[in-house]
Amino acid sequence: MVEKDLSVSLCGIRMQNPVVPASGTFGFGLELADSLDLGVLGGISLKGTTREARFGNPTPRIAECTAGMINSVGLQNPGIEVLVTEKAPALRRIYGGVIIANISGYSVEEYAYNCARADACPAIDILEVNVSCPNVHGGGMAFGTDAASAAAVTKAVRAVARKPVFIKLSPNVTDIVSIARACEDAGADGITLVNTFLGMRIDIRKRKPVIANKMGGFSGPAIFPVALRMVWQVAHACRIPVMGCGGVARAEDVVEMMMAGATAVQVGAENLRNPQASPEIVAALPALMGSLGINSLQEIIGIV
């Protein structure tokens, strides 16, 4: 069998494979260092970080659904200084792949500040700017549901960063393509999509929402076709690369996302039900490529 080439080039950065655990579903990577071989992962997107430390939302923060789950963690994180001085450098010492800092904020100024700090951290390769978290009132998603706001964040961040800047978009919008294009026009180097879908469950015995914060972000295999459609639309409307995310659970989903136009593919909720999901997907890719007649993953990006 011909040796399979899993590598891809993302904004000029070589990744040994396109598989990246998605932000919020893999901690800072360090939490899993003893349980699995991080080295096989193409990249790791770290837990979303704000300027100040946050405890996040009250519990329960998790609700099970058919073929998915809702989370309302609310950006629990230790703050940007801990990310750049402790977490990212500690991960760099044990991991050679692409490290992606996921940045949140409550104002354009905070986004810019956090990105400047992450940009100055040698351990971090890519900035992923989250304008799409559905779990924080007054922040985050407000920027991602409006093209002008998303562009304003992109422009401010672009001005302070030398590293590639990806904008992570919310699917809870009417026209994702117009927002993606606005980010591209404002200088984004890439787009990550999609974040979670706003969802809700009610405990019919207790007659109240399962999630303490009432609503949360729905993710899991149920959203895969919708995420794939959005990746396809955006990848064909923009010239910048896309990291596809949403319901990816198996190697087949990675190939499908790449055929839709994704250069890298993020694995999210599946990590929570199976901590070894991401390495298992990487391991399954060569045989799948063989059965599909694919020699290089780079060649299938956007072929549909």
Partner 1 sequence: MQKRIFNIEANDPVARDTFRIVLRTDGDVSVRSGQFVDIALPGFYLRRPISVSDRLPDGVVLYYKVVGEGTRAMAAMRPGAQLELLLPLGSGFHPERCREAALLVGGGLGAAPLYLLAKELLAAGKAATAVLGFNRADEICLTEEFRALGVPVLIATLDGSVGTKGFVTDAIAAAQPTFDRFYSCGPLPMMKAVCAALDAPGEVSLEERMGCGAGFCYGCSVQTRGGARRVCADGPVFDKEEVLW
Among 59, 85, 107, 178, binds partner 1 (CB under 8 A): 59
- Which residues neighbour 300 within 8 Å (Cβ) at sequence distance 6 or greater? 255, 258, 259, 294
- Residue 209 in contact with partner 1, rule: CB under 8 A: no
Kindly report each contact of residues 58-61 with a partner whose C-beta sits within 8 Å and lies 24 or more positions away, as own/partner: 58/212, 58/213, 59/212, 60/210, 60/211, 60/212, 61/211, 61/212, 61/213, 61/216
**Part of the chain binding partner 1 (CB under 8 A), chosen from 25-33, 184-192, 230-238, 252-260:** 25-33
Work out which of 2, 3, 35, 293 binds partner 1, going by CB under 8 A: 35
> Please, what is the minimum distance in Å from the beta carbon of residue 78 to partner 1?
9
Q: By the 8 A CB rule, do 152 and 129 touch?
A: no
Write down the catalytic residue from 65, 115, 121, 133.
133
3-class state of residue 117 by DSSP: helix
If binding is defined by CB under 8 A, does position 145 make contact with partner 1?
no
Residue 202 in contact with partner 1, rule: CB under 8 A: no
Residue 60 binds to partner 1 (criterion: CB under 8 A): yes
Q: Which stretch binds partner 1 (CB under 8 A): 27-35, 103-111, 236-244, 251-259?
A: 27-35
CA–CA gap between residue 269 and residue 211 (Å, rounded): 17
Residue 76 sits in the site that holds partner 1 (CB under 8 A)? yes
Partners of 264 in the beta sheet? 243
Residue 32 in contact with partner 1, rule: CB under 8 A: yes
Q: In what order do the strands lie in the sheet with 215-219?
A: 62-65, 68-71, 215-219, 197-200
What token pair was written down for 154?
């992109």
Question: Is 160 a residue that touches partner 1 (CB under 8 A)?
Answer: no
Q: Which of 10, 41, 73, 301 binds partner 1 (CB under 8 A)?
A: 73
* 259, 286 contact by CB (below 8 A): no
79 interacts with partner 1 by CB under 8 A: no
For the CB of residue 61, give the shortest distance to partner 1 in the complex, in Å: 5
| Residue 250 binding partner 1, by CB under 8 A | no
Please pick, from the candidates 134, 220, 246, 261, the single residue that binds partner 1 as defined by CB under 8 A: 220
27 binds partner 1 (CB under 8 A): yes
Strand partners, 20: 266
User: Which of 70-78, 85-93, 100-108, 184-192 is the region at the interface with partner 1 (rule: CB under 8 A)?
Assistant: 70-78
In 3-state terms the chain splits into helix, strand, coil percentages (rounded to 5) of 35, 20, 40
CB of 12 vs partner 1, minimal distance in Å: 30
Cβ distance 71 to 83 under 8 Å?
A: no
**238 catalytic, yes or no?**
no
Nearest Cα to 64, choosing from 252, 222, 207? 222
**Residue 85 interacts with partner 1 (CB under 8 A)?**
no
Nearest C-alpha neighbor of 5 from the set 301, 294, 302: 294
**In the complex with partner 1, which residue's Cβ is closer, 163 or 250?**
250
The residues that are catalytic are 133
Residues in contact with partner 1 by CB under 8 A are: 24-27, 31-32, 34-35, 47, 55-56, 59-69, 71, 73, 76, 220, 271-276
